[in-house]
A and B are shown apart, each in its own frame.
Chain A
Amino acid sequence: EDKVVQSPLSLVVHEGDTVTLNCSYEVTNFRSLLWYKQEKKAPTFLFMLTSSGIEKKSGRLSSILDKKELFSILNITATQTGDSAVYLCAVFNAGGTSYGKLTFGQGTILTVHP
């Protein structure tokens, strides 16, 4: 069975701190790893990673994938209170001859205090 494990489960920091969120996975037919940010409602898409060692960056957020060691990290620098959210990691299993699907990790709850 596919497994996606995130750590830590929760994290409390102060504005300006840098945080690193971890995601490890065991998935057959791995195709891609996605990061989402979920505040009160819908998860919003952050990054999709398919190739090992290539960093994706968007403002203060960046992410990298290690396909050999089966993990990804999401870095947030100079955190702001608006970064407070649940960060979800999801892995796409191509499914072989059948359809693939996303398997989500349990999420990391990030709280940024002023």
Chain B
Amino acid sequence: DTEVTQTPKHLVMGMTNKKSLKCEQHMGHRAMYWYKQKAKKPPELMFVYSYEKLSINESVPSRFSPECPNSSLLNLHLHALQPEDSALYLCASSQEGPRLHNEQFFGPGTRLTVL
């Protein structure tokens, strides 16, 4: 299995809702990442988990809350989002943690719309 899966593919939520994005990989990778990508822009790093510990938080607002239940799973909990948070949310994984330069493999993304 050489892929990263993400659910749901699409999500529409109101500003008062609480929802979660899920990401899974079974490649034995030890680092997992959340990126946010706005239309016609490159991905922007949000969080990095290395060996199930949060190692990078790129000053992301607290309405985004990551969680890594185990080495294969990564969640992003969403609460009280704003319309400007609408974007494609990409999960990625890499073999080793972010100290080492290894390729990151991306999931298909969740297209999030906040009304």
Residues of A in contact with B (beta carbons under 8 Å apart): 31-32, 34, 36, 41-45, 48, 50, 88, 90, 92, 94-95, 99-102, 104-107
Known A-B contacts A48-B103, A94-B101; the reply to A99 vs B45 at CB < 8 A is no
The tally of residues in B whose CB lies under 8 Å from a CB in A reads 25
B90: chain A residues at CB < 8 Å are 42-43
* Minimum CB–CB distance for A65 against chain B, Å: 12
**Apart from A48-B101, A104-B43: 13 A-B pairs, beta carbons within 8 A:** A41-B108, A42-B107, A42-B108, A45-B103, A48-B102, A48-B103, A50-B101, A92-B101, A101-B45, A101-B48, A101-B56, A102-B104, A107-B42
A101: chain B residues at CB < 8 Å are 45, 48, 56, 58, 98
